A = this chain, B = another copy of it.
Amino acid sequence: MMDTEKISQHISQKFNDELENIRERVMAMGGLVESQVAQALDAFANHDESLASKVIENDKLVNSHEVDIDEECARILAKRQPAAGDLRLVVAIIKTITDLERVGDEAEKIARMGRDLAGRSGDAPTSRLQYGALMHLGQHVRKMLNGSLDAFARMDIEAALDVIHLETQADQEYEAISRQLITYMMEDPRSITSVLDFMWSARSLERIGDHANNICEYVIYLVQGKDVRHLSLDEMRRLAKEDR
């Protein structure tokens, strides 16, 4: 099994430093994206227009992280021509930052819907319940995102599998919110526009969970050298055990 130490066994200390530096940059991008999601949810829940605008503005920062890290990866591939575990690390990073960038996009969407809600006069009478369920789902996918970054930082398969396990629950929460929102819309058609903002936000959160899931699959690929995408959780666990 590959571990952090083996990755570090390079003849060139400079190459080590470069790989370490790029991992740190992914973690910094991950931290920024986590904070974007948290702030987008705050802005949505509190009808905070200025916080929403800040999140929307900061998405450019997320994008520039992606472009910079991508360039650095291409540079490393060209200059160092990494093999085996190092190569998998660079490929996993290229994929991970694509997902992080898209998490940033979803955070931006949630912020935009928060701003729309804030701008609209009045609110659906059922909104308190809706906020509660949405924020609960928000906490859940934030936990998944945090867990996926943690699994990436420590290259920890078990941690990655734990996050993947959480996804079923996020999907169920999302389905329940969806059904509830459809009921609200039917009962009070005037609320449809506002309720749809909740619907889109719930879907954005569900997608953030998907991206966290993807990142965990890259971690498993990175550590095991096996592509586990499109496998069931049980199949992944079996593979992880075989490897020990």
Contact = CB atoms under 8 A, between A and B. Distances in A.
24 contacts: A63-B229, A63-B230, A64-B230, A66-B229, A67-B227, A67-B229, A67-B230, A70-B227, A71-B227, A74-B88, A74-B91, A77-B87, A78-B83, A78-B87, A91-B94, A94-B95, A95-B98, A98-B98, A182-B193, A182-B196, A185-B185, A185-B189, A186-B190, A192-B192
A81 interface: yes
A136 interface: no
Interface residues of A, number: 32
In the A-B complex, list the 5 residue pairs whose CB atoms are closest, starting with the nearest: A81-B81, A63-B230, A189-B189, A186-B189, A67-B227
A128 interface: no
Contacts of A193: 182
A186 B189 CA distance: 5
B182 A192 contact: yes
